[in-house]
């Protein structure tokens, strides 16, 4: 009888625990999908401001947690069973997490451009599923050609002040669409990066470097801009500030 009662209690406990975990996952979108991005999400919330400034000194103190998340990504690589949204979220988070890890590993440093003679994006130091990747491979060989969504440029962050600000939350399949829209609109209308007027527009070099992704840049900007640009407006590209985004 005691054994039977114990078994019932054990079963009840496991059932309640399972329900609680499912409930927590449902209310925390960073844990949804085939992988959990909770590790990155908690770090971003604590060490990245709402304007995208990173507390690298504080983050370095949590290097083990960041390394653990990066290692976790290496053990859970997208496959065809993942949805498009799950894949995009994974690769965006991977780009951002490994960029943060790169800076933390070399902090204090004043610019990412000082690493590897300015060629750090081409160094294959990222191990995912046993394969080595560079940051450029994630961006230019995976994200851009496979998903063809120009808004991705406002989600990945190169650790520079002129780069579209780092979002202080992890991307997930559930928040991907609304967040990409919000981050794109926020960047386009941020006077720090783009000065938009009817006759002239001084815009980020992101629009020049990845012109092929944006199509007609005036049309793209007008889709998100509060201040509309005229058809005959002169386009100029601002100088890029490679100082660390801190």
* CB-CB neighbours of 207 under 10 Å: 22
Sign of the Cα pseudo-torsion (86, 88, 94, 100, in order):
negative
**How many angstroms separate the Cα of 90 from the Cα of each of 97, 98, 123, 173, 224?**
10, 12, 20, 9, 25
Give pLDDT, residue 21.
36
Beta-carbon contacts of 83 under 8 Å, excluding residues fewer than 6 positions away, are: 33, 173
Q: Are 40 and 168 in contact (CB under 8 A)?
A: no
Q: Are 245 and 161 in contact (CB under 8 A)?
A: yes
204 phi, psi to nearest 5 deg: -65, 150
What is the full per-residue pLDDT of the chain (246 aa) written as tens digits? 434 444 434 434 433 333 333 344 334 446 557 999 999 999 999 999 999 999 999 999 999 999 999 999 999 999 999 999 999 999 999 999 999 999 999 999 999 999 999 999 999 999 999 999 999 999 999 999 999 999 999 999 999 999 999 999 999 999 999 999 999 999 999 999 999 999 999 999 999 999 999 999 999 999 999 999 999 999 999 999 999 999
Q: Are 95 and 87 in contact (CB under 8 A)?
A: no
Q: CA 128 to CA 134: how far, in whole Å? A: 10
Task: Give the pair of three-digit tokens for residue 118.
Answer: 């300015």
DSSP state of 161: T
Cis omega (within 30 of 0) for bond into 170? no
Q: CA 157 to CA 73: how far, in whole Å? A: 18
**How many angstroms separate the Cα of 139 from the Cα of each of 12, 147, 191?**
47, 11, 26
Give pLDDT, residue 90.
98
Q: Are 242 and 112 in contact (CB under 8 A)?
A: yes
Cα 116 from chain centroid?
Answer: 23
Q: CA 131 to CA 74: how far, in whole Å? A: 9
192 phi, psi to nearest 5 deg: -65, -25
Q: CA 121 to CA 116: how far, in whole Å? A: 9
DSSP string, 220-241: HHHHH-SSPPPTTPEEEEPPP-
Element (H, E) at 195: strand 195-196
Task: Give the pair of three-digit tokens for residue 211.
Answer: 């012109």
């Amino acid at each position: 009888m005691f054994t039977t009662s114990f078994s019932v209690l054990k079963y009840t406990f496991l059932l309640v625990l399972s329900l609680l975990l499912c409930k927590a996952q449902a209310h925390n979108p960073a844990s949804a999908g085939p992988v959990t991005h909770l590790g990155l999400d908690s770090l971003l919330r604590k060490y990245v401001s709402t304007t995208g400034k990173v507390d690298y000194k504080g983050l370095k103190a949590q290097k083990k947690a960041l390394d653990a998340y990066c290692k976790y990504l290496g053990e859970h690589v997208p496959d065809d069973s993942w949805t498009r949204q799950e894949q995009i979220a994974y690769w965006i988070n991977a780009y951002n997490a490994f960029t943060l890890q790169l800076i933390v590993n070399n902090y204090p440093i004043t610019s990412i451009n000082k690493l590897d003679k300015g060629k750090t994006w081409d160094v294959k130091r990222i191990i995912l599923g046993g394969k080595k990747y560079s940051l450029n491979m994630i961006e230019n060989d995976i994200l851009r050609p496979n998903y063809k969504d120009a808004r991705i440029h406002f989600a990945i962050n190169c650790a520079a002040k002129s780069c579209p600000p780092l979002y202080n939350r992890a991307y997930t399949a559930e928040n991907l669409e609304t967040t990409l829209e919000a981050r794109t609109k926020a960047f386009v209308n941020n006077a720090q990066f783009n000065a938009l007027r009817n006759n002239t527009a001084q815009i980020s070099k992101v629009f020049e470097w990845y012109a092929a992704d944006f199509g007609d840049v005036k049309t793209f900007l007008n889709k998100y801009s509060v201040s509309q640009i005229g058809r005959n407006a002169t386009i100029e590209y601002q100088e890029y500030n490679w100082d660390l985004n801190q």
